[in-house]
Amino acid sequence: MASTPRIALIANPVSGRGRGAQVLQSLQAELLTRGVHATAFTTRKAGDARLHAQQVEADIVVAIGGDGTLSEVLDGAAGRPVCVAQVPLGTANVLALDMRLPRQVKRTADMLLAGRTVQLDTALVRTHGQQERRGFLVLGVGFDGHAVHTLERARTGPISKLTWVRAVLEAWRTWQPTDLQVTVQGPHGSSQHACQSVLVANCIHYGGFAVLDPDRRLDDGLYEVYLFARASRGALLRTGLTGAFSRLPGSVATLVRASQVQITASRPTPVQLDGDALGLTPASLHVDQTRTRLVVP
């Protein structure tokens, strides 16, 4: 990276309850006081952040917004010689929690100019009838997929924590478990597993809490696969209690690591990717061999 990096800022203006545009202006001004002229873009619709990240000439592309904005920037930057950073303004901000990314403008500027980076695995995901999508956090099939689809159907504007609570309560009321078959390709070969819920994750935080395996590595070419044999309401309660008082998998799930995952179901079952509804099973995930460099404190 150059001693004075070229920086591009891409902001979702409605993130953070409408603070996205303000943070964009403040960060651009802060960088200018330090002798760095950053180009700035705001998004108007889905896909804009991806397009800007594909086209901009920069050393660092900064996503100002939530996980959705970061996902688009990571997708647009894939395969390009650029680093990606985030100013977290969304509801979940899972990767920001994992990496303890700053929210303050001055601390973000410090981070960008220090130039410390780590490598980040991303994964390419496909579901029935949908185009391939890039993920960087978690693929879920089971209750969480059902909850995200319930949220999408009820959503009328920006997502808040209250919106999530309402969606989870409605999903709980309507939930019916499905039998899943999961085939994983890992460092020790292929294996098959029967379960009723599965998470394929490259993160520690889930649902706002540090409940997943802290030994996960961002850049080992593997995702952690959490297989839940049962996903009845009683089993879901036990899973929640395990996450509240310790870490998953605990006694409620089996953990394996994989570079490729195939998921089929006894009936079409909702899938979520990084908090977004992503069609129905069957679903497949494979870890991309091209890693992204992520700017961290």
Summarised one tens digit per residue, pLDDT across range 10-66 is 999 988 878 899 999 999 999 999 999 999 999 999 899 999 999 999 999 999 999
Model pLDDT, residue 257 = 97
pLDDT digits (tens, 9 = 90+) for 56-84: 999 999 999 999 899 999 999 999 999 99
Task: Please provide residue 12's backbone torsions phi and psi, each rounded to the nearest 5 degrees.
Answer: -85, 110
Contact assessment for residue 139 and residue 286, using Cβ atoms and an 8 Å cutoff: no
Residue 113 has pLDDT above 60, yes or no: yes
Model pLDDT, residue 278 = 92
Contact assessment for residue 122 and residue 292, using Cβ atoms and an 8 Å cutoff: yes
**Exposed, middle or buried by CB within 10 Å (0-12, 13-18, 19+), for 36?**
middle
**Exposed, middle or buried by CB within 10 Å (0-12, 13-18, 19+), for 151?**
buried
Model pLDDT, residue 156 = 64
Residue with tokens 């995901």: 125
Contact assessment for residue 178 and residue 196, using Cβ atoms and an 8 Å cutoff: yes
Mean pLDDT of the chain: 92
Task: Please provide residue 28's backbone torsions phi and psi, each rounded to the nearest 5 degrees.
Answer: -60, -40
Model pLDDT, residue 222 = 97
Q: What is the pTM of this model?
A: 0.92
CATH class for domain 7-115?
alpha beta
CATH fold of 123-289, please?
Answer: Tumour Suppressor Smad4 (2.60.200)
Percent of the chain with pLDDT over 90: 80
Both structure tokens of 87: 């100013």
Gap between the Cα atoms of 293 and 117, Å rounded? 6
Contact assessment for residue 216 and residue 118, using Cβ atoms and an 8 Å cutoff: no
- Please give the C-alpha separations between residue 183 and each of 60, 107, 125, 155, 179, in angstroms, as whole numbers: 37, 43, 14, 33, 14
pLDDT digits (tens, 9 = 90+) for 139-148: 999 999 999 9
135 three-state secondary structure: strand
pLDDT digits (tens, 9 = 90+) for 200-241: 999 999 877 889 999 999 999 999 999 999 999 999 999 988
Residue 2 has pLDDT above 70, yes or no: no
- Please give the C-alpha separations between residue 59 and each of 1, 63, 227, 293, in angstroms, as whole numbers: 7, 13, 39, 11
Amino acid type, 53: A
Q: Confidence band (pLDDT; 50, 70, 90) for 131?
A: confident
Residue 153 has pLDDT above 90, yes or no: no
Gap between the Cα atoms of 127 and 277, Å rounded? 11
**Do strands 270-273 and 223-228 pair parallel, antiparallel, or not at all (unpaired)?**
unpaired
Model pLDDT, residue 229 = 96
The domain ranges of the chain are 7-115, 123-289
Range with the poorest average pLDDT among 111-125, 241-255, 268-282: 241-255
Model pLDDT, residue 1 = 52
Task: Please provide residue 148's backbone torsions phi and psi, each rounded to the nearest 5 degrees.
Answer: -65, -40
Gap between the Cα atoms of 262 and 120, Å rounded? 22
**Do strands 117-120 and 209-210 pair parallel, antiparallel, or not at all (unpaired)?**
unpaired
